[in-house]
Structure 1
Amino acid sequence: MPSIVYQGTGPRIAYERRIAGLTQVDLARAAGVALGTVRKIERGERGVSDAVLTAVADALDTDPSCLLPDRERPDDRVHEAMPGLSAVLAAYEAPEDGPCRELPEDGPCRELPALREAVASVVAYRLSAQYARIGRTVPGLLAELCRALQHVAPHDRFMVARLAVDACRAADAVAFKRGAKDLSARLIDMMRWAAPQAHDPLVDATVAYVRTEVHFGAGTHTVGLRALEQALDRAPRNDEPEALAARGALHMRAAVVAGRAGNGDAAALHLDAARALGDRVREDAYGGTAFGPDSVRIHEVSVAVSLGDGYLDRALRLAREWRPPRNLPAERRSGFYIELGRVQLWAGRPDAAFESLKVARRIAPQHAREHRWVREDAATLRRLKRADAESLTSFAEWCHAGASV
């Protein structure tokens, strides 16, 4: 496949380079790119190939999408991940007596510490909404984890299974947020296959949390609520921080699903339970799911959006008094402002709604760009506010408002 060439990236690269405190020589050396190439790119004399964009982004410790002009889409690299993921999903249950030749990048597996480090990287990419990086990394990693599960020593199998669940979840972040519901459901099936091999109830809780996406996609919210409540019944009941966070995350998810089902009483009960558990743990990441008092506050806004009229004032009051701190994952902070923007739009405050969407974009551009509500609300704002068209039009074009989702 020919490399994609992006135009107009020079000013963004120069800006990010200066913010990072690097000279052009430093950037060229770190990216493994010729100094003349960096100079020409920044002067706008040449475009940037997909490979060079990735190398420069890695050198600047940022996602490639942050270096693209607003009207460019970095989705090609995400699309390119889909066939590789499909190949893994077609063959992950390969027989135990031999390597899986259908999987991409077939070959020997790295040692467990290297696999653990690789999975930690894709989890970090997910939490910071760097989906392009996941797209180019996770298909080969999942294939390698499948091979490791076939051949690893029995005492290491539990850990490899946990790593496979975490890697599947990172891949699912790409699939689900891009609207590839069938691929997302297949990745969740792979998680459900790997989880029992981990023999860890916390891993089972993670899978139950993520599996709710199937019900979001299908609109079967009452069924999803029942599944989460069953998962809560099976979750560990001890007072270890990990167990408290596991139950709290499930309660947060259940509150949102109950709200989508229009069940305000159940939503309130689960939010109360999540608050009580959140007061007992510090804000941290459990299995890649942030949980703690701040995460619960964000979910209060989510529930208000789900329940609609009669609950919007509560969300607006919370937003006046509190903002998500920077130590929360970027994906979650961006989600807060996306949902707040929807509440503000419904409350007749279009200017405030547009500001919230712009904040969501600054925090996690790929997350905001791919979010269905951002597209819907940007299109609505564009219709309501034709007079100040320029910045709103630019934003709407950036997120492809009005595009099918």
Structure 2
Amino acid sequence: MPAFTDGGVGRRIAYYRNVTRPRMTQRQLADAACVALGTIRKIERGERGVTDATLQAIAHALGVDPGRLCTDRGAVNTRVHDALPALSAAIATYDAPEDGPVRPLHELRTAVADAARWRVAAQYTRIVRALPDLLTELSRAYHTALAEERAELAGLLVQAYRSADAVAYKFGAWDLSARLVELMRWAVPQAEDPTLSASVAYVRTETFFAARAHVAGLRALEQALDSVPAPTAAPMIAARGALHMRAAVIAGRAHDASAADHHLAQARTLADQVPEGVYCGTVFGPDSVKIHVVSVAVGLGDEHVGRALDVAGQWKPPQDLPAERRSAFYIELARAQLWAGLADDAFESLKVARYIAPQHTREHPWVREDAATLRRLKRADAESLTHFAEWCAAT
């Protein structure tokens, strides 16, 4: 595996070690990462390189995305793109996996839950390292399982496909993403879980976003809402609310303000009934609805940006909200600020998004578009803006 030899990696490791609460010593970091103390010391001094595996272990011990430690702008993203063919190969044999070992069901549950946690934290490199083998193992487990275990294994497959899809979609592999969505739709009836069915309908909207088929996507979501059972418990309330949130966003992209407002209102009513949290893989609650108010306003167009700016002027996403959702807020806010002529504020929002979730921010098409626009418009802080534009490959 490649090794990072830039001394900046060591400096960043030392920085994050010193800002943890409580502060970590080099010994504590070495123990937590299962790396020799001498290795940690040499890395921080820039005297030795860092392999992919060691970088992942150190990042996990520090509780940060590996992208924050890697000074090579393209290295993390190159590793993700290079791993996508392995995901394709893993799903090619979804119905006829090769023979091999299968872990106990409780271990598979843990592995799937880990991948879901990495997804909402925008830790895509961790997903692509683990998912190809996990998807193959889950397929093997499903096809060899006893009848009483197959429903749960189908549900685990759906959740694992969703984590893999997050990487494919965010990194522009839309054909692979569409294939993963279809596999979710294949597996979900076997899971016999209506909340999981709603989750798949939520994810399926990606295919409509990618095709810019917003009217058709809104119609598909409204059909899914019609088929969702009446919500009686928190998971189903959240599932229904998430569908309304998604419908509001795609209605905004379709420039249907009336439908967007209706679905936002429905989502807000449901969000008031549950605490903010991750339900069946989807983040939902009052804070998520506020973020979607900004997203809808931006989707409707620059004449609606006042609503986005009003929300941002009174509220910011709390720190305990998952990274992917928080970074999305600042990415969308930056677009609203840019349209409102607030170039400096827009750049600050993009930098906040990058700090929260670097991989999610770097791969977002709006970030590249807006960074390129800012680079053309601005003269102040030109060096910093140029570095940012180069980092996200803005043209």
Q: Does 1:275 align with 2:268?
A: yes
Contact 1:334 1:361 in 2 (8 A): yes
Question: What code does the residue aligned with 1:267 have?
Answer: A
Contact 1:6 1:72 in 2 (8 A): no
Q: How does 1:1-400 map to 2 (within 5 A)?
A: 2-7=1-6, 8-20=8-20, 21-69=23-71, 71-94=73-96, 100-101=97-98, 107-400=100-393
* 276-285 vs 143-152, greater mean Cα deviation: 276-285
Question: How far apart are 1:65 and its partner, in Å?
Answer: 1.0
Question: How far apart are 1:286 and its partner, in Å?
Answer: 1.4
Contact 1:80 1:135 in 2 (8 A): no
Contact 1:259 1:306 in 2 (8 A): yes
Whole-Å separation in 1 of the counterparts to 2:389 and 2:72: 10
Match in the other structure for 1:97: none
Cα displacement string for residues 44-69 of structure 1 (whole angstroms, at most 9, x for unaligned residues): 22322222212322332322111112
Question: How far apart are 1:279 and its partner, in Å?
Answer: 1.4
* 269-278 vs 31-40, greater mean Cα deviation: 31-40
Question: What code does the residue aligned with 1:207 have?
Answer: V
Whole-Å separation in 2 of the counterparts to 1:159 and 1:147: 14
Contact 1:10 1:43 in 2 (8 A): yes
Contact 2:252 2:299 in 1 (8 A): yes
Contact 1:224 1:257 in 2 (8 A): yes
Question: How far apart are 1:366 and its partner, in Å?
Answer: 1.3
Contact 2:312 2:333 in 1 (8 A): yes
RMSD of aligned alpha carbons: 1.5
Whole-Å separation in 1 of the counterparts to 2:306 and 2:298: 11
In structure 2, runs of 5+ residues without a counterpart are none
Whole-Å separation in 1 of the counterparts to 2:303 and 2:375: 26
Whole-Å separation in 2 of the counterparts to 1:68 and 1:324: 26
Question: How far apart are 1:27 and its partner, in Å?
Answer: 2.7
Whole-Å separation in 2 of the counterparts to 1:320 and 1:134: 35
Contact 1:264 1:307 in 2 (8 A): yes
- Count of equivalent residues: 392
In structure 1, the residue corresponding to 2:303 is in which secondary structure?
coil
Question: What code does the residue aligned with 2:180 have?
Answer: L
In structure 2, the residue corresponding to 1:285 is in which secondary structure?
strand
* 285-294 vs 213-222, greater mean Cα deviation: 285-294
Question: What code does the residue aligned with 1:3 have?
Answer: P
In structure 2, the residue corresponding to 1:169 is in which secondary structure?
helix
Contact 2:43 2:49 in 1 (8 A): yes
* 307-316 vs 338-347, greater mean Cα deviation: 307-316
In structure 1, runs of 5+ residues without a counterpart are 95-99
Question: How far apart are 1:382 and its partner, in Å?
Answer: 1.0
Identity in percent:
61
Question: What code does the residue aligned with 1:185 have?
Answer: A
Whole-Å separation in 1 of the counterparts to 2:275 and 2:12: 37
Whole-Å separation in 2 of the counterparts to 1:87 and 1:353: 40
Question: How far apart are 1:6 and its partner, in Å?
Answer: 4.6
Q: TM-score, normalised by structure 1?
A: 0.93
Whole-Å separation in 2 of the counterparts to 1:119 and 1:42: 33
Whole-Å separation in 1 of the counterparts to 2:178 and 2:28: 44
